[in-house]
Amino acid sequence: MESLEVSNVALLFGAVFVVAGIATSLFASRFGAPLLFLFLCLGMLAGQDGLGGVVFNDFRLAYIVGSLALAVILFDGGLRTRFASFRGVLAPALLLSTIGVVVTAAITGAAAVLILDLRLVEGLLVGAIIASTDAAAVFFLMRSKGVQLRRRVANTIEIESATNDPVAVFLTLVLVELVLAPQATGWVEVSLILGRQALVGAAIGVAGGLALAATLNRVSLPQGLHPLLVVAAAVLIFALASVLEGSGFLAAYLAGLMLGNRPVRAFPSILSFHDATTWLSQIVMFLVLGLLVTPSTLVEYALPATLLAVFLIVVGRPVAVWLCLTPFGFSRREKTFVSWVGLRGAVSIFLAAIPTLASLPNAETYFNVAFFVVLVSLLVQGWTVAWAAGRLGLKVRDAGPEIKRLEIDLPGQLELELVGYPVAPSSPVLAGAVFPSWMRTVMIVRGGEVLTPESAGELAVGDYVYVLAPPARVGRLDRLFATLDGASAFAVGTFSFGGDAAIEDVCTLYGLHVPADLKGLSVAEGFAERFEDRVDIGDRIAIEPAFLLATAIRDDQVAKAVVEFEEEGREGPGGLVGRVGGRVRGFLVARRAARAAGGRPEAPAGRAGTAAGARGNTH
């Protein structure tokens, strides 16, 4: 009976801390704190030096929990990555995830020898443990902080972080062997191990993802089992690759990539379930890793570990990034950001447990130093991801506005699904935005009554619109139905330019400075440069102190845009007269711009008169 009571208490504490972990998301969203850092702190708070007083030192169990969580997280990362994202970035990302990891490990390992007073092979082991960026941390923080970057930068970071774990694991295992038996491992054997890890992991990942997609489409399962099958298969693929001495990390990512890029039954429910599963995996993994740490002993390593973390952030990572990305024409700002966003996370702590499992000398040093480096990385880099992206001019769009979207699979086919949206106030559909050609409106629910599109007429706030659309394109409808803020709802637009108008001419007429990367480009080309393959209505390019706002899209290019100034929030001296005079002057300038751009001026629009600025075929 006593053992039952202990088990119940353990379940109680586990549930309490998972709930507490979820609750921390409210704190994080309000203060901008990195969630993963808070999860680690919560785990330490529950540990033997914290309020929970839980004594936990089972590294083997932590290794198993970490493996399960990372398998799910990496699979989820692949599931949300499109093949198109590899275009133009595969070579630099792979170079960064291989040579870059080795360079980072070597440079940081040399610093660890001096800072921690270790032998060269031991210092290199420390460098290998903290060399790779954490895919879990990168994927998670990019989404949770709403950072949407220029495609080239975002895809390089995500592909690198998802594929550099095998090299870090390989380096760690080899160096552990060298510490135990310095003469037992030769370079030929090392190369064979590395090749086997990559080939076996890639083969099982690709085959497993394709087999899973075929199974989902051919086998009829009871409702609700599709997402569960996918999670179980992700863990199975990870474990199978690891047992066959391949890279389980690479296998899980590639399996998700294969599944996510094929038409699959019940895909919306799979994605929704994976959202919850990934959150739970993050919380449990970081809570367990936090429990492993004893803060009282961690303090002893604070100074040297902080010095090593600063060296890694300022020297080790940037040297590797600049060395690997310079040949591919990345700009200085892009390389600076990629250097800064090299977050360390659970993988480094996960690898730091291997020396303990292998009973290496100084195992406590490896673990505590790695843990402290991760804390510093999550706190400093994780807290400033959005700030750095904005400061360097690489954040092309804020996070897509949150909307309520219902997705329903249609039995018997995979090309279309039924999607339902509520019509929100100030949404582009109310401003006259035309639906894309690949979408078909099926019905509109208004006041509890089901109407056909013809009988419903113009949409109104509170309507529910149900449409048929290809699953891969559904996300592009979100901004059409979302409530946009005053700046993005085409409220202050004065005059529409065609997509072929030169940005330099527009800026000259309005007295604006032309950003260096937009000189010589048309409006359509400028948006394509900044937003690449995902331009949407409501996207803006900053041309201080104004914005160039996309109001219509045709054939995936901006067909119409307006110059938008911040609207005055209060009346100043002579406010009404000054504001009207300013609007008249703006309209006269617009007439001149119309003649220069070959367009036709439109009268300035207030908050309600925006329909003309939003009309166009959207994609």
pLDDT winner (highest mean) among 27-36, 473-482, 515-524, 537-546: 515-524
Q: What is residue 190's predicted lDDT score, i.e. its pLDDT?
A: 67
- C-alpha distances (whole Å) from 171 to each of 178, 246, 253 are 10, 14, 20
Q: Mind listing the pLDDT tens digit for each residue in 6-24?
A: 667 767 777 776 777 667 6
- Write out 181-220 in H/E/C secondary structure: CCCCCCHHHHHHHHHHHHHHHHHHHHHHHHHHHHHHHHCC
- Res 603 pLDDT > 60: no
Q: Mind listing the pLDDT tens digit for each residue in 483-521?
A: 655 444 444 334 567 888 888 888 876 667 787 778 888
Q: Which helix (H) or strand (E) holds 543?
A: strand 540-543
Q: Mind listing the pLDDT tens digit for each residue in 228-272?
A: 899 999 999 999 998 998 888 889 989 999 998 888 877 878 888
Query: Domains, the chain, ranges and CATH?
Result: 2-394 (1.20.1530.20), 406-481 (3.30.70.1450), 496-614 (3.30.465.10)
Count of Cβ atoms closer than 10 Å to residue 609 Cβ:
15
Distance, CA of 352 to CA of 127 (rounded, Å): 11
The residue behind tokens 């330099």 is: 504
**Phi (first) and psi of residue 465, to 5 degrees:** -105, 130
Count of Cβ atoms closer than 10 Å to residue 80 Cβ:
17
End-to-end C-alpha distance for the chain, whole angstroms: 64
Distance, CA of 339 to CA of 326 (rounded, Å): 12
**For 553, left (φ over 0), alpha (ψ -120 to 50), or beta?**
beta
Helix (H, G, I), strand (E, B) or coil at 563: strand
Distance, CA of 339 to CA of 615 (rounded, Å): 41
- C-alpha distances (whole Å) from 585 to each of 470, 547, 579, 603 are 45, 18, 10, 12
Distance, CA of 9 to CA of 19 (rounded, Å): 15
Distance, CA of 308 to CA of 64 (rounded, Å): 28
Helix (H, G, I), strand (E, B) or coil at 427: coil
Q: What is residue 325's predicted lDDT score, i.e. its pLDDT?
A: 93
Between 424 and 492, name the one with better pLDDT.
Answer: 424
Q: What is residue 124's predicted lDDT score, i.e. its pLDDT?
A: 93
Between 12 and 72, name the one with better pLDDT.
Answer: 72
